Amino acid sequence: MSDGAALAGPDGALRCPWALSAPEYVTYHDEEWGRPVHGDDALYERLSLEAFQSGLSWITILRRRPGFRAAFADFKIAAVAGFTDEDRERLLADAGIIRNRAKIDATLANARVLAGWAPGELDELIWSHAPEPGTRPVPKALSDVPAVTPESTALSKALKKRGLRFVGPTTAYALMQACGLVDDHLQACVARGA
């Protein structure tokens, strides 16, 4: 694992090494990560969760995802945009999520901004930053996977320009990976190109 190459899981299939550290990761890796996600609410959820993950491990977010969904009205933009000060206080007291004031405030503010966008506008903006297919090298080891790319930097700038918060280039790249704008499954990984 030290070189970051794909490793065999319990079923013998090769996977990205990070996917083997917890059972939840195997499912997330095999069924979600790197698969195309479309729809404003679905992308708002992913963007919000990536922002909450900043500074934490993804497994922390993944294990609390049901709590996040319950707390944030399944990340329906219109519903979250209508949250009140009482809702904010409820979120700050909710042990089922990450109770970070700045991240909660950003999630609420982002919903209010996005509620003013046309349907499909978030989806279109995010996907317009996907690199052209076949233009990125296929990673053979984790060390080949970048944390930031020119596309994620451009996406971050575009989102910030439109009023969104907690969307730096690293968060934007994690979103791109999670939502299938890029395929960073390792070359030998069973989920590559799935």
Catalytic residues: 28, 50, 58
| Structure token digits, residue 13 | 């299939």
| Structure token digits, residue 113 | 């901004």
Q: Is 189 annotated as a binding residue?
A: yes
How many other C-beta atoms are found inside a 10 Å radius of the C-beta of residue 43? 22
DSSP 112-171: HHHTTSPTTHHHHHHHTTSPPTT-SPPPSBGGGS-S--HHHHHHHHHHHHTT--S--HHH
Residue 182: partners with Cβ closer than 8 Å, 6 or more residues away: 34, 130, 131, 136, 149, 151, 176
Q: Is 38 annotated as a binding residue?
A: no
Q: Is 185 annotated as a binding residue?
A: yes
By C-alpha distance, which of 44, 57, 153 is closest to 107? 44
Q: Is 16 annotated as a binding residue?
A: yes
| Structure token digits, residue 109 | 């503010």
Alpha carbon distance 77, 125 (integer Å): 16
Q: Which residues are annotated as a binding site?
A: 16, 29, 185, 189
* Residue numbers belonging to the annotated binding site for Zn(2+): 16, 29, 185, 189
